[in-house]
């Protein structure tokens, strides 16, 4: 898979600096970039003592000064921008980037993040800093399936659909890692492998039970795509068990599937302190040396945590061997060589990237573009877009000036965060009167009952109510300090105090625009009914306020689409701990949703016509071409997200009602049309049987093309009428 890294050059490397070529000798062969990575790794391992080898299996790998090996900390994050290491461009949270349905944009974001990552790494090393969050191995992206909106970390994912997650994830990984024939710009990671999506409070002891059909139909496709298509450099095991085995020591998932079936040749790490769960949560072993040996013997190459120092005792007790340590190092160390971390200064082309790229104007513009494309218009009774010279606006609500609603989790820092309030104020004309009052707290009733806000709504031409939730309420186990359920949500409705607040506003407001923030589905039918226009802005990053302003005042036309289904209420969901996919996500859900997957309106209108499918009777293994004409029949230039869904109507087993198999963004001027083509590959026609096997069966298939999931609910909410056809595999 990585032949570009395995080319053997001359043992004396010729380096080019400032137009001059010179030969350089190296004290040890592992320092010589002219040798193959295998030779360099083997040489380094041969020079390490057992204690030094064990140290290199830790996320905070210490320096080996006698060999000139610098310290390296593997733990770094860049979920939506370089995180936890000072100033960096903050892009929309992952779930918001998925709402763009734009793989080309995701690739550009990955490139921008990796440029900033290299710049920060170069500056850190030059100043002697090699600590946590300063390396080039990023533990991103999170490609778990967002199967239940109660999961607080669902915001880190690309939504509920395995195809969308795969396409967005592959584009992002390729952008992060780059396309240099020898060096990685940065190293990405697919996490959390596998079958992991809450509950947060039980993750250290929970056993996710899943059928082979659901495993291969829903939970594994994105991981497979990142490994086989994007050559993702790392994979992280989840905290939980899956079907009885811990995910950081899972023979089937780690050895049979990941290494053998998919041919993964990168490194595998535990989630942080997950090995402690082996004896304190899952209780599958009794001691730390047993936990360390179990993980190492199964191919967990790196320990994020504190357990692997126990390997010295594990070896003494005969639980594992030094040879097994060496095998794991051979899988772990190549990443550092692919990043060029053992090469002379200046030998790696990315050494020249300087700090001027960090939060540069180009990257800020990219963040604003992504935020604008992520915002989903859920309702518009002709109120939007507003005119910039409108007489008066009243901005209110708990998230209007709430910076945390921009940041989400795993975020970097900015000296120029633009809240929604600031974005709106920055768009208005000088004569426009803008008033602001927070009006309501985030998730509890106002302690002071005096109402000084609803009267303001009656005086303004338009009221913009900014509601929703933030990372304070939903997120990872210990970081959401306002969460009552360790980051998860027990209910998926809007906090009741916000609904009551909006009722008071609605009673007086002439026109009411609601902007919701959040990283997951919010069941809010009453908000939909009260609002004249409704926008869902996710956690839109540092430029989020400007992007909302762009949308509200028409400098950008809404084009975001929902990467998750919004149920009517939590009562429509199966039990949270149940990992079966029945009645979950748009592919299997029987109850009518509030907002369907893929849904999103525009200021303009689009029409689909002229569907052609060929061949109508393909032979098994033959691809099918689908073409459709899309026309902008409205008054604004806009972008349509064309979505292709497929249904196997003659399958021998239960299959999704319909499944996304393609999407494209098309920008059209009013009155313009474009002919758009998709290819349905044979693999897309395969079903997954009860054994988890992918099988291509003969029979009929339905094809749907439109701007949302092909449901009556989509049409009732104002989506363009989809077109449909069929073909039959002989």
State both tokens at 558.
């809404």
Residue 648 has, within 13 A of its CA and on its CB side, a CA count of: 23
Going by the DSSP 8-state scheme, the letter that residue 260 receives in this structure is: I
715 Cβ partners below 8 Å, 6+ apart? 721, 722
- Containing H/E element for 17? strand 13-17
Q: Which helix (H) or strand (E) holds 631?
A: strand 624-632
Q: Per-residue DSSP letters for 409-459?
A: SS--B-S----HHHHHHTTS-TT-EEEEE--S-SSS--SS----SHHHHHH
What does residue 640 show for φ and ψ, rounded to 5 degrees?
-105, 140
Query: If DSSP codes are grouped into helix, strand and coil, which group holds residue 676?
Result: strand
Sign of the alpha-carbon torsion through 224, 228, 230, 236 = positive
To 5 degrees, how large is the angle CA 238–CA 243–CA 245?
Answer: 60
Distance set, CA 588 to CA 160, 210, 649 (Å): 11, 15, 14
**φ and ψ of 21, to 5 deg:** -100, 140
CA distance 488 to 149: 9
- How far apart are the C-alpha atoms of 161 and 596, rounded to whole Å? 12
Q: Which residue has the tokens 């594994």?
A: 220
Q: What is the enclosing helix (H) or strand (E) of 236?
A: strand 234-237
Q: Please tell me what DSSP assigns to residue 79.
A: B
Q: Give the C-alpha separation, 525 to 532, whole Å.
A: 13
The one catalytic residue in 148, 351, 474, 488 is 474
Cβ neighbours for 428, distance < 8 A, ≥ 6 positions apart: 388, 389, 390, 393, 434, 553
Contact, 609 vs 566, CB < 8 A? Answer: no
Long-range contacts (CB closer than 8 Å, 24 or more residues apart) made by 200-203 = 200/151, 200/152, 200/153, 200/476, 200/477, 200/485, 200/486, 200/487, 200/488, 201/477, 201/485, 201/486, 201/488, 202/240, 202/577, 203/238, 203/239, 203/240, 203/477
Q: Tell me if residue 474 is catalytic.
A: yes
| C-alpha pair distances (Å), 729 with each of 279, 411, 554, 618, 655 | 52, 48, 46, 5, 17
Q: Pick from 234, 205, 252: which is nearest to 301 by CA?
A: 234
Using only C-alpha atoms, the chain has a radius of gyration, in whole angstroms, of: 26
CA-to-CA distance for 120 and 127, rounded, in angstroms?
Answer: 11
Gap between the Cα atoms of 596 and 211, Å rounded: 26
Rounded Cα distance, 538 and 518, in Å: 5
From 42, 224, 245, 271, the catalytic residue: 271
Task: Compute the distance between CA of residue 64 and CA of residue 318 in angstroms, rounded to an integer.
Answer: 27
Q: Say how far apart CA 640 and CA 668 lie, in whole Å.
A: 8
Helix (H, G, I), strand (E, B) or coil at 407: helix
Rounded distance, CA 674 to CA 443, Å? 46
Catalytic residue annotation: 271, 474
């Amino acid at each position: 898979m990585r032949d570009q890294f395995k080319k053997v050059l001359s043992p004396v490397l010729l380096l080019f600096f400032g137009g001059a070529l010179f030969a350089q000798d190296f004290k040890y062969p592992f320092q010589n970039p002219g040798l193959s990575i295998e030779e360099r790794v083997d040489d380094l391992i041969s020079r390490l003592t057992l204690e030094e080898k064990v140290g290199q299996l830790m996320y905070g790998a210490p320096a080996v000064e006698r060999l000139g090996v610098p310290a390296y900390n593997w733990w770094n994050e860049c979920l939506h921008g370089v995180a936890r290491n000072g100033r960096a461009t903050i892009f929309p949270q992952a779930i918001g980037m998925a709402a763009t349905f734009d793989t080309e944009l995701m690739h550009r974001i990955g490139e921008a993040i990796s440029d900033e990552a290299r710049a920060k790494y170069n500056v850190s090393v030059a100043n002697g800093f090699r600590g946590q969050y300063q390396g080039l191995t990023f533990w991103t992206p999170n490609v778990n399936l967002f199967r239940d909106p109660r999961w607080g970390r669902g915001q880190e994912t690309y939504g509920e659909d395995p195809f969308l997650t795969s396409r967005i994830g592959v584009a992002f990984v390729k952008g992060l890692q780059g396309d240099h024939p020898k060096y990685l710009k940065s190293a990405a990671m697919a996490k959390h492998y596998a079958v992991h999506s809450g509950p947060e409070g039980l993750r250290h002891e929970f056993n996710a039970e899943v059928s082979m059909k659901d495993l291969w139909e829903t939970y594994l496709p994105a991981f497979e795509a990142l490994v086989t298509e994007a050559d993702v450099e790392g994979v992280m095991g989840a905290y939980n068990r899956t079907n009885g085995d811990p995910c950081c020591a899972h023979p089937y998932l780690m050895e049979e599937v990941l290494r053998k079936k998919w041919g993964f040749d990168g490194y595998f790490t535990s989630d942080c302190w997950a090995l402690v769960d082996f004896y304190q949560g899952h209780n599958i072993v009794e001691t730390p040396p047993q936990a360390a040996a179990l993980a190492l013997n199964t191919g967990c190459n790196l320990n994020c945590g504190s357990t692997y120092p126990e390997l010295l005792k594990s070896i003494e007790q005969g639980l594992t061997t030094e040879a097994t340590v060496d095998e794991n190092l051979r899988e772990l160390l190549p990443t550092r060589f692919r990043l060029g971390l053992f090469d002379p200064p200046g030998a790696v082309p990315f050494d020249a990237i300087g700090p001027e790229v960090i939060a540069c104007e180009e990257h800020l513009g990219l963040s604003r573009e992504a935020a604008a494309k992520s915002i989903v218009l859920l309702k518009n009774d002709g109120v939007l877009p507003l005119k910039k010279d409108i007489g008066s606006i009243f901005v209110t609500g708990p998230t209007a000036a709430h910076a945390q609603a921009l940041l989400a989790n795993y975020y970097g820092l900015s000296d120029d965060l633009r809240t929604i309030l600031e974005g709106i104020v920055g768009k208005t004309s000088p004569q426009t009167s803008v008033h602001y009052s927070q009006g309501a707290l985030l998730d509890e009733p106002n302690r002071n009952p005096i109402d000084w806000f609803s009267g303001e709504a009656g005086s303004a031409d338009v009221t913009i109510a900014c509601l929703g939730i933030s990372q304070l309420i939903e997120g990872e186990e210990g970081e959401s300090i306002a969460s009552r359920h360790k980051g998860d949500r027990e209910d998926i409705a809007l906090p009741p105090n916000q609904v009551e607040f909006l009722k008071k506003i609605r009673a007086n407001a002439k026109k009411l625009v609601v902007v919701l923030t959040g990283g997951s589905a919010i069941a809010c039918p009453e908000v939909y009914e009260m609002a004249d226009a409704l926008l869902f802005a996710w956690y839109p990053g540092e430029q989020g306020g400007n992007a909302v302003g762009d949308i509200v005042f028409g400098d950008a036309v809404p084009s975001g689409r929902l990467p998750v289904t919004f149920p009517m209420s939590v009562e429509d969901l199966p039990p949270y701990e149940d990992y079966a996919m029945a009645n979950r996500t748009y592919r299997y859900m029987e109850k009518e949703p509030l907002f369907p997957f893929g849904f999103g309106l525009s200021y303009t209108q689009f029409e689909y016509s002229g569907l052609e499918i060929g061949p109508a009777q393909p032979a098994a293994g033959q691809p099918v071409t689908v073409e459709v004409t899309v026309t902008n029949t409205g008054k604004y230039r806009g972008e349509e997200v064309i979505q292709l869904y497929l249904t196997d109507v003659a399958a021998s087993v239960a299959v999704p009602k319909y499944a996304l198999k393609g999407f494209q963004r098309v920008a059209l001027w009013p009155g313009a049309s474009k002919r758009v083509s998709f290819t349905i590959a044979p693999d897309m026609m395969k079903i997954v049987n009860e054994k988890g096997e992918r099988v291509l069966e003969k029979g009929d298939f339905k094809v749907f093309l439109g701007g949302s999931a092909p449901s009556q609910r989509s049409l009732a909410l104002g989506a363009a009428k989809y077109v449909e056809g069929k073909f039959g595999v002989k």
